[in-house]
Amino acid sequence: MATFRQGVNGGLPGTSLIAMCCVCGLVRARKAFAGDPDRWVTKRAYEHMYGMRLVGNPVTHTYCSGCHTDFMQRVRPTRQTLAP
């Protein structure tokens, strides 16, 4: 029970896509364990955390948790009638 494995379930080293927010540019930090909540950091912080360059790595664009909430609030249906 005391064995600690370096490999994390659900994450293939070197092949995981880097999720970047298309609005504010924050990058999602890797999960340390299953169930770890999403953490969004700046590109610079990400590179510092993992000692790597983001340039040249596969990036997928998405919304970070903050921008997603903001986006959902903005697109919520409004009953304003623009037409006469």
Sheet with strand 27-28: strands edge to edge: 40-41, 27-28, 18-21, 59-62
Contact at 8 Å (CB) between 18 and 53? no
| Interface map 18-57 toward Zn ion (x if CB under 5 A) | ---x-xx---------------------------------
Count of CB atoms within 10 A of residue 27's CB?
23
64 binds Zn ion (CB under 5 A): yes
| Nearer of residues 18 and 21 to Zn ion, judged by Cβ | 21
Residues binding Zn ion (CB under 5 A): 21, 23-24, 64, 67
